[in-house]
Amino acid sequence: MDFGQIITAMITPFNHNEEIDYGNTTRLVHYLIENGTDAIVVSGTTGESPTLSTEEKLSLFEHVKKAAEGRAKVIAGTGSNNTKASIELTKEAEKLGVDGVMLVAPYYNRPNQQGLYEHFKAIAASTSLPVMIYNIPGRTGVNIDADTIVKLAEIDNVVSVKEASGNLDQMANIIENTPDDFELYSGDDGLTLPVLAIGGKGVVSVASHVIGNEMKQMIQSFQNGDLTRAAAIHRKMLPVVKALFSQPSPAPLKAALELQGLDSGVLRLPLVKVDEALKNQIGQIIESFKESVKSLG
């Protein structure tokens, strides 16, 4: 399964009653596909998954798959720290026709490496869908070691990893010791180019909501051997990434989307919206970045 190079971890639009806004979800899906997104993760952290019920997640999976109309792969976030519950959700997601699942490392209960392996192995065994492992120790409190990922890659339908450890040595180790068809994606927008340089496939991105085309240009420049241009876009992009994570995500992102005329509605508690001053600052940083990329020609 080729998920492409830019996978957007999509927000979940809510209305002012904090209910899922399916109309704006459809509009967002179309917008993302038209602006550089190859695949969409539904109900990841950026989608405020901790506040979504199982029923809401399944409804979103089905809706986004229909809205994408086959133009982008849909990856369902079905992982949790409860192996049995993750298996059940994965099975239901498969029935809805999603293209793959993303499984985050179990958080809070912090299993050891053997526990992590058995957790992912059990979920992978319950489905025929391609599985992307998600390593984000800053949120989960546990790192999936390179050796564990290498071992998991031996399972037929474990096809990729979203690596958000920030550890390029660990990522290089994974790339070097897994099969050629196993793909590593950066879980940090700001590491997209370095990850490509060591043999990674692409990025599972937050910033692609607002600068997807520019990120696509950076990747294409790298692939075409224009490293100078790729590096220039990378450097100019970093303030955007910093701005989008200046408050707990996706609060800054929802503010940025609103400025671009894409209504994503409210956030669910415990997250709260950014203030107007920061919102305007984020908008200015994004616009400045877009103009600077244009000036590169």
107 has catalytic annotation: no
Spatial contact of 188 and 200, defined as CB atoms under 8 Å apart: no
224 burial (CB, 10 Å; 0-12 / 13-18 / 19+) is exposed
Which residues lie across from 19 on neighbouring strands?
Answer: none
Where do we find the tokens 């950066």?
186
134 has catalytic annotation: yes
Task: Give the count of beta carbons closer than 10 Å to the beta carbon of residue 82.
Answer: 13
272 is written with which tokens?
Answer: 């709260």
Give the side-chain half-sphere CA count within 13 A for 206: 27
179 is written with which tokens?
Answer: 């099969």
Catalytic pick among 134, 151, 201, 254? 134
Peptide bond preceding 106 in cis form (omega within 30 of 0): no
Catalytic pick among 162, 216, 236, 279? 162
Q: Which residues are catalytic?
A: 134, 162
